[in-house]
């Protein structure tokens, strides 16, 4: 808001906020839709493995040594 205030030469933030706050929800909605259009809807690594759960669980399991490896 401060950038808009400075660019338009408003004397106070209240004037800028009162004038442009109603525009912000529409801008936020458009931005959210644009991002949603580029974010993948599936997680290929998890889907390809045929497992469920967060990727961090898969990574942690792969990094932990097995009991057999520790016994050697």
Say if CB 57 and CB 46 are below 8 A apart: no
Report pLDDT for 9.
92
Whether the predicted pLDDT of 2 surpasses 80: yes
Residue 13 lies in a domain: yes
Number of compact structural domains in the chain: 1
Structural domain including 51 reads: 2-62
Q: How many CA atoms lie within 13 A of 31 on its CB side?
A: 6
- pTM score, whole prediction: 0.31
CA–CA separation, 20 vs 4, rounded Å? 9
User: Which residues, 6 or more positions from 15, have their beta carbon under 8 angstroms from its beta carbon?
Assistant: 5
Residue 69 lies in a domain: no
- The per-residue pLDDT for range 15-56, each reduced to its tens digit, is 888 887 777 788 888 988 999 889 887 776 655 555 555 555
Whether the predicted pLDDT of 69 surpasses 70: no
Report pLDDT for 18.
84
DSSP 56: H
């Amino acid at each position: 808001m401060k950038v808009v205030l400075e660019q338009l030469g408003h004397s106070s933030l209240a004037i800028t906020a009162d004038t442009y706050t109603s525009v912000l929800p529409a801008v936020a909605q458009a931005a959210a839709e644009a991002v949603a259009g580029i974010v993948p809807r599936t997680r290929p690594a998890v889907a390809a493995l045929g497992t469920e759960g967060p990727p961090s669980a898969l990574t942690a399991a792969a990094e932990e040594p097995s009991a057999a490896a520790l016994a050697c």
